[in-house]
Structure 1
Amino acid sequence: MSTVRDLAASATLDFTLPQELTVIALCALTALIAHMALAVFNDGVRPFMLDFIHGRSTRPATTAVSFGLSAGFIFGLGAPMALSSGVLNPWLLFLPTDVLGLLSPKRWLAPVLGGAWGAVVVFALGGANDLAHDLPVDFLTAMQQMSTPILFLFTLFPVLAITKQFGRAWGAAAGAVELALVVMTMKLWPNMFAGALAMAVGVLTLIGLAVARDLGQRRADRAAAPAGAGAVDGGGSGSGGGDGDGDGEPAAEDPMASLFSASATRLRRYLPLFMLLGGGVCLLAQMHIFGGGEATSFLIAKGHISEAAQVDFYRVFGFIPLIATTALASGAYGIVGFTLVYPIGYLLPNPLLAFVVGAVVFAAEVLALSWIGRILGRLPSVRDSSEHLRNAITDTLQLAILFGSLMAANAMGAGLGILVVGGLYLLNEAMGRPVVRMAAAPAAVIVGGVLLNLLYWLDLFTPVKG
């Protein structure tokens, strides 16, 4: 309980002038880049950007897709997480600038709209936070109950990924090792986040198993190659036998390779703009007012900066293949790149160095896109591991956020709170999830908190004693 009280005391959303200017400038820049169709934050929107870039889709239609895929995360996850932790997050900052940038009919208007959204975040969110904490039913403090299940259940995502890709035996072994490491960390290093070492071992185990499988498959393919090659040579060594069509002409160029090359070239053309973006994101992370994920936000709020860097570093492995392939296929990169600038920014000692390093990292990412795409083509198990990691992260966080939201409901309204919040969540499920599942529970806590305050003012409810 003392941890929650300490977290509540730190969740102020008060920013210094340099921090405010950084948020506003970065939101303006990301809106401009989204308007130019160079990058978007929402991974679900990126595949739609190819048609927009080539003029097969209109700006209003693309904006509608972006808003539809982003609204639930903005209001159901981004805003509640920021209000409860006191730390900004990418869903709150960059999903709205995706929408505003695509919405803007003029290039000059996009950074104006983006900057305006940044100003709303840094100036209005703090007032809303203070107002909510003054209510009889303080649902924001109650929402900090989510931190414990998010931090500890998130530790298990490598175990889930290993189980799904390599079977129950490997999954059980990884789970036993992680549990032992968590217990050992809590006993020997009580000031360290208990899941840090366990996650490191889990992710390394998954990558090691995937690489070993790919290398084994390549050895098997090489061993089988001479027999296959001999059969081919014996059947068609004359003129015209090399391409299989008998006319002696070279095979047609792979259309996907051509598309990937064109997309990579397009992104490299705007390298200075991407370097500015990378520097800005890394600078924001260095200020420790921003967390790249749900678990990271609470770790930064508690002052566990190195552990936050570790958590976001592990997430990188789940997103490099997705971001690289969708960027090469669509011609639009990710607003935060491969997310490497998050953990790097957390750990750097000063803002100037963070900006420079972030710019260099983004330049390296953009220049290496084609090479990364070719490497991933040769490592199918590693690509599969990335997919399993992302799914495992989603599964663990969905359970953790739901469980934490019910804990928050109990803290602010006991049985009635659980009835309201759980009922709203179930209603969202029954209605076909108009609010995405991960965002539905935090949104239900806020709606439930407002409802409990109304009941208090009607003298129909007495708040739970803190």
Structure 2
Amino acid sequence: MTTIAAGTSLDFTLVQQLTVIALCALTAYISHMALAVFNDGVRPFMLDFIQGRSTRSATTAVSFGLSAGFIFGLGAPMALSTGVLNPWLVFLPTDILGILAPKRWLAPILGGAWGAVIVFGLNGANNVAHDLPVDFLTAMQQMSTPILFLFALFPVLAITKQFGRMWGGISGALELALVVATMKLWPNMFAGALAMAVGVLMLIGLAIAKDLRQRKADRAEGITEIVLDDDPMASLFSSSAARLRRYLPLFMVLGAGVCVLAQMHIFGGGEATSFLIAKGQYAEAAQVDFYRVFGFIPLIATTALASGAYGIAGFTLVYPIGYLMPNPFVAAIVGALVFAAEILALSSIGKVLGKLPTVRDSSEHLRSAIGDTLQLAILFGSLMAANAMGGGLGILIVGGLYLLNDAMGRPVVRMAAAPAAVIVGGIVLNLLYWLDLFTPIKG
């Protein structure tokens, strides 16, 4: 079983506490100004808000509705079980608080207050949970093995969905061979790292080759691109990019802050990354988050150009870069430069993506595959946690809550439902213990 060597302590140093509070204040301020939000689902709604067709309260309701399940069902449980902060816990609440704030000066105060809740409140909750007769937080560390290993399969799923069974079978066999070879030859290396690298490169290579063949065929048939000077989408993209460039210094400060947070190794950009950071495997964590970037660049670029609101973490390149930086000062400089390059390149990226439809589709398949693998891994890991803390009764409660959530129309999003069920199940098992109706499993 994969163990978390770093433990699950959420006891931050003063510098780390101030960094989290300041970054939460900044992200809430930026969200209030409708310059950036973290939730990709909220970003398309920002154009109506920016142009005055939607009220602040209505936009806040949308943000809360799309984010609450991830905050309480995924962000908080992952942070408590790994001892590492994550973007769902840090940035989704500041999306909501920033949009909610009626005055500009109030937004950073609310954001900073949330940051204080994170750095001062989580450790207390963590200590209380570990002192309970049924320690469900330690049990949740069982989630690490299925998340880390099943996540490695996302390139195989993406290739299969986009390029068919043959290429899917080839990539699957290749990834399996690479995982086995890595475990045998490099036991201290994350087993899925090399396999994911090869899988993502295969997907990109297949997509680019298909686009190049299509462009060659189009030229042979005399088909040329028609560019309309009065294209309304082109005009919208141009004005959105110009709006974001006007606030370039503010975005550079944001990039510096996110990169510094990642450099401190108290923050992981994803589910698998959180467990790798907790184990001290920073290079492997950087590799995992780097591959995720390919699935999100087209989405973030196009929604930013269409809405005029960027991503709080940009293209998320600052995550893997931050993990590898030697100190916070270098991380701040590099993070600022990365965000500057991203903002300045937005228009060009949009034009390139328009000419590579297969590559653009690959990002959709990558995101879908990441969701599918993590959904299965989190569910399986949650049932393993349920078994560790309560045996068959634990599985009954956690699995039952998950199924009940589905039957009720998923008030909690599916990916967050299982970890949330583990926490609720842990509380129920403790209540049963205090009623002398359940004996905790030892060991």
Q: Kindly tell me: are residues 218 and 427 of structure 1, through their superposed partners in 2, closer, same or farther at Cα, counting changes over 3 Å?
A: same
1:284-295 aligned at under 5 Å gives the runs 284-295=261-272
> What per-residue deviation string (whole Å, max 9, x for no partner) do you get for residues 26-80 of structure 1?
0000000000000000000000000000000000000000000000000000000
Structure showing greater radius of gyration is 1
Is residue 2:278 matched to residue 1:301?
yes
Partner residue in 2 for 1:203? 200
- In the alignment, the residues of structure 2 paired with residue 224 and residue 18 of structure 1 have an alpha-carbon distance, to the nearest angstrom, of 62
- In the alignment, the residues of structure 1 paired with residue 228 and residue 406 of structure 2 have an alpha-carbon distance, to the nearest angstrom, of 51
Q: Kindly tell me: are residues 251 and 127 of structure 1, through their superposed partners in 2, closer, same or farther at Cα, counting changes over 3 Å?
A: closer
Is residue 2:79 matched to residue 1:77?
no
Matched residue type, 1:344: I
Matched residue type, 1:329: A
Match of 1:39 among 31, 36, 39: 36
1:10-25 aligned at under 5 Å gives the runs 10-25=7-22
**Alpha-carbon shift at residue 170 of structure 1 (Å):** 0.1
Matched residue type, 1:304: Q
**Alpha-carbon shift at residue 252 of structure 1 (Å):** 5.8
> What per-residue deviation string (whole Å, max 9, x for no partner) do you get for residues 96-121 of structure 1?
00000000000000000000000000
Partner residue in 1 for 2:235? 258
Partner residue in 2 for 1:247? none
Matched residue type, 2:42: V
**Alpha-carbon shift at residue 306 of structure 1 (Å):** 0.3
Match of 2:390 among 391, 413, 420: 413
1:58-137 aligned at under 5 Å gives the runs 58-137=55-134
Is residue 2:320 matched to residue 1:323?
no
Is residue 2:385 matched to residue 1:388?
no
Partner residue in 1 for 2:339? 362
Q: Please give the secondary structure, in 1, of the residue aligned with 2:85.
A: coil
Match of 2:311 among 314, 331, 334: 334
Is residue 2:435 matched to residue 1:450?
no
- In the alignment, the residues of structure 1 paired with residue 380 and residue 43 of structure 2 have an alpha-carbon distance, to the nearest angstrom, of 31
Partner residue in 2 for 1:267? 244
Partner residue in 1 for 2:191? 194
Matched residue type, 2:356: L
- In the alignment, the residues of structure 2 paired with residue 67 and residue 271 of structure 1 have an alpha-carbon distance, to the nearest angstrom, of 27
Is residue 2:162 matched to residue 1:165?
yes
Residue ranges of structure 2 left out of the alignment (5+ in a row): none
Residue ranges of structure 1 left out of the alignment (5+ in a row): 230-242, 244-249
- In the alignment, the residues of structure 2 paired with residue 262 and residue 457 of structure 1 have an alpha-carbon distance, to the nearest angstrom, of 61
- In the alignment, the residues of structure 1 paired with residue 14 and residue 193 of structure 2 have an alpha-carbon distance, to the nearest angstrom, of 33
Is residue 2:23 matched to residue 1:26?
yes
- In the alignment, the residues of structure 2 paired with residue 426 and residue 97 of structure 1 have an alpha-carbon distance, to the nearest angstrom, of 31
**Alpha-carbon shift at residue 460 of structure 1 (Å):** 0.2
- In the alignment, the residues of structure 2 paired with residue 155 and residue 192 of structure 1 have an alpha-carbon distance, to the nearest angstrom, of 14
Q: Please give the secondary structure, in 1, of the residue aligned with 2:24.
A: helix
Match of 2:352 among 353, 375, 385: 375
1:419-430 aligned at under 5 Å gives the runs 419-430=396-407
Q: Please give the secondary structure, in 2, of the residue aligned with 1:15.
A: coil
Matched residue type, 1:450: I
- In the alignment, the residues of structure 2 paired with residue 355 and residue 180 of structure 1 have an alpha-carbon distance, to the nearest angstrom, of 39
Is residue 2:149 matched to residue 1:149?
no
Relative to the length of structure 2, the TM-score reads 0.99
Relative to the length of structure 1, the TM-score reads 0.94
Q: Please give the secondary structure, in 1, of the residue aligned with 2:221.
A: helix
State, as a whole percentage, how many aligned pairs show the same letter: 83
- In the alignment, the residues of structure 1 paired with residue 188 and residue 67 of structure 2 have an alpha-carbon distance, to the nearest angstrom, of 37
**Alpha-carbon shift at residue 465 of structure 1 (Å):** 1.1
**Alpha-carbon shift at residue 274 of structure 1 (Å):** 0.2
- In the alignment, the residues of structure 2 paired with residue 287 and residue 327 of structure 1 have an alpha-carbon distance, to the nearest angstrom, of 28
Superposition RMSD on alpha carbons, in Å? 1.1
- In the alignment, the residues of structure 1 paired with residue 286 and residue 370 of structure 2 have an alpha-carbon distance, to the nearest angstrom, of 16
- In the alignment, the residues of structure 1 paired with residue 374 and residue 228 of structure 2 have an alpha-carbon distance, to the nearest angstrom, of 47
Partner residue in 2 for 1:435? 412
